Amino acid sequence: MSIDKTSATPEDHLVENPEAAAKAVTAVDPRLLVREQGFAGYITEFKRKMKAGDLGSIPVVIGLIIIWAIFASLNSNFLTAGNLSDISVAMVGTGMIAVGIVFVLLLGEIDLSVGSVSGVAGATFAVLNVTHGMNEWLAFVLAILTGTVAGAIHGFVFARIGVPAFAVTLAGLLFWNGFMLKILGDNGTINLDSEGVVAKLTSYYFTDVAAAYALAVVVTAGFFLSSFLDNRRREAAGVPSRPLSETIARTVLLAIIAFAVAVIYNQYKGLPLAVVIFVGVLLLTDFVLRRTSYGRKIFALGGSVEASRRAGINVEMVRISVFAISGTFAAIGGLFIASKIASANQGAGAGDLLMNAIAAAVIGGTSLFGGRGRTWNALLGVLVIVSIQYGLALEGIASPVQYMITGGVLLATVVIDAITRKTQKTAGRA
């Protein structure tokens, strides 16, 4: 039986020529997370990602290592257990606000009101609980809801009326700052109960050494189980997945980091409650963004609003909810900041708080142009910023220099982000 050469497929020619079939190189599916087996495959994939501008969190991790190395060489106290523990607690307030900023940035928008909203939350709790004697937990919940309502108002004006988010949240920055000053009254400062709910957010430590190790075990085991089950689902659906060897390697690396952190905490006061809450928030928000249809809608809007609308996504609802989330986390962050200073005062939410929250999200790897980022970026970014602040403080360097250095780091990050987008467009990935 002869084969029609005009309609023959490449496979037919290979059947006719066994030697050609033996020499043929199997086509590699470009969707594969790792396209070749073994260590060489990871090197090849790493080079491909670098050429395509897919840098991920590599720049900020390298930058953090350099920052720690510099400050450790300048001052031996920088990498002590006490200083590292203090850094981790101090970063939680700004980090919580940065988590909400990540949601907004994923839409390609900005929220300039988060600093003032955080101040309103702390003032609301202090006025309700201390001044009016309201139950602590009820005042705590109402303080957080003030942030939710403020964010929802911003989102409504932006999504339904069409006022640019920059203008809406800039107005919110001024309005909520004035509102905070109004409810605080002439005194301007309300001290919190040092044994109260809010005060213990940053002052409470789990002194039992088992607590830090238990958290390390839970985080490591949770990561492995999540990755393993995700790979199983991908394999069952016929979708390319990571090999088990890579999952194990990633889990081992995470375990080393987690247990090293646990050892550091146990050398000081123990595991801080603030860090436990922050890690829990990061896990929850990461799950929402990457594992739910709501999270996929946020990424879709960041990619293209018009395409999302045509796909049936309720654009207005998603936008309003995202700004409500931003306001909620601003309020939570404000309560942690109030806990750190054990008071609510007229300076809350002012200064460099807004800049640091936005910078943390961007420095951590969230794109200013929307559609790319994770809430874990907030952790990396705020860790860089607070490390710089504590390192310079140990050297007795004034605040103006801190602002200049932080601004330089932010500019470098934005430049990298812009270059990355151009590289991805050239590679056909944007």
Residue 46 has a pLDDT of: 62
362-421 tens-digit pLDDT:
888 888 777 788 888 889 889 988 998 888 888 887 777 777 877 777 777 777 767 766
Residue 72 has a pLDDT of: 92
What's the token pair of residue 203?
């002052």
Alpha carbon 410 to its chain centroid, in Å, reads: 15
Q: Considering only CA atoms, which of 343, 348, 374, 344 is closest in space to residue 361?
A: 374
How many other CB atoms sit within 10 Å of the CB of residue 89? Answer: 22
Q: Considering only CA atoms, which of 55, 67, 135, 22 is closest in space to residue 384?
A: 67
Are 176 and 234 within 8 A, CB to CB? no
Q: Report how far residue 378's alpha carbon sits from residue 88's, in angstroms, rounded to the nearest whole number.
A: 13
pLDDT above 90 covers a percentage of the chain that reads 46
Q: Report how far residue 240's alpha carbon sits from residue 69's, in angstroms, rounded to the nearest whole number.
A: 39
What's the token pair of residue 65?
């290592």
What's the token pair of residue 8?
């023959």
Q: What does pTM read for this prediction? A: 0.84
278-317 tens-digit pLDDT:
999 999 999 999 889 999 999 999 888 888 898 889 999 9
Residue 42 has a pLDDT of: 60
- In a 3-state reduction of DSSP, which class is residue 109? coil
The amino acid that residue 22 corresponds to is: A
Are 104 and 161 within 8 A, CB to CB? no
What is the 8-class DSSP label of residue 70? Answer: H
User: DSSP letter string over 161-219?
Assistant: I---HHHHHHHHHHHHHHHHHHHHTTT-EEEPPTTSTTTHHHH-EE-SHHHHHHHHHHH
Residue 397 has a pLDDT of: 79
**pLDDT tens sequence for the chain (430 residues):** 444 444 444 445 444 554 544 444 444 444 444 445 555 656 666 666 666 555 667 778 888 888 899 999 988 899 999 999 999 999 999 999 999 999 999 998 999 999 999 999 999 999 999 888 899 999 999 999 999 999 999 999 999 998 999 999 999 999 999 999 998 887 778 888 888 889 999 999 999 999 999 999 999 998 899 888 888 888 888 777 777 888 888 899 999 999 999 999 999 999 999 999 999 999 999 999 988 999 999 999 988 888 889 888 999 999 999 999 999 999 999 999 999 988 888 888 777 888 889 888 888 888 877 778 888 888 988 998 899 888 888 888 777 777 787 777 777 777 776 776 666 666 555 5
229 class by beta-carbon count within 10 Å (0-12 exposed, 13-18 middle, 19+ buried): exposed
